[in-house]
Amino acid sequence: MESSTRRSLLLAGAGLIIGGCIGVIFLAAFQLGGLIDDGRRSTSALAGNTTGQEEQTAPDFTLDSLEGETITLSELKGKPVLINFWASWCGPCIAEMPSIQARYEQYADDLIVLGINAGENKRVIQRFVEEQKISFPILPDTGDLVQRLYRISAIPTSYFIDRDGKIQAFYVGSISEGQLDRYLQDIGVGE
């Protein structure tokens, strides 16, 4: 093979590798957008909503908690709800869990927190809950039905739902205490 042909092939290969790396970086930034901006997202595309409205009724679901209690989201109207999608193997999920637990305890009379686990085995979930001292309801999503309904592409992801059952915001990535407090205030917690 001639050296100019070999050089052209090497340059083309290097270009493909660099282009692929740039594509992966942009994809990661898109999926983990909560890590590089304030996390506010339009909910108009969630679950097929094509109205273009910012506020959308949270898609309803029914799951059983680890304790066997059946929880239906639509039956929780009247109180603000924080839904947190997580897994025990997820470092950012572990990092934000103490803040979520603290807000659950702080606003026990005014806030419902639901932790939806991303399809893990109940034994693994239970061990994590005990180690982290989590007292809010944990709902295993073994068939990933709720994750698909809420179009979860990365965890952790948190949804903030107001007293009327409308999604006010969602956040992808590990949420800071300041962001958590702001979003809780947006859905009327502590008023």
Q: How many CB atoms lie within 10 A of CB 65?
A: 15
Give domain limits for the chain: 1-31, 40-186
Fold of the domain spanning 40-186: Glutaredoxin (3.40.30)
pLDDT at 150 over 60: yes
Mean pLDDT computed over 180-187: 96
| Prediction pTM value | 0.74
Bridge partners (DSSP) of residue 75 are none
Looking at residue 5, its pLDDT comes to 64
Determine contact, residues 84/164, Cβ cutoff 8 Å.
no
pLDDT digits (tens, 9 = 90+) for 50-106: 344 457 999 999 999 999 999 999 999 999 999 999 999 999 999 999 999 999 999
Looking at residue 191, its pLDDT comes to 72
pLDDT at 119 over 60: yes
Rounded Cα–Cα distance for residues 139 and 45 (Å): 24
Q: Tokens 């893990």 — which residue? A: 120
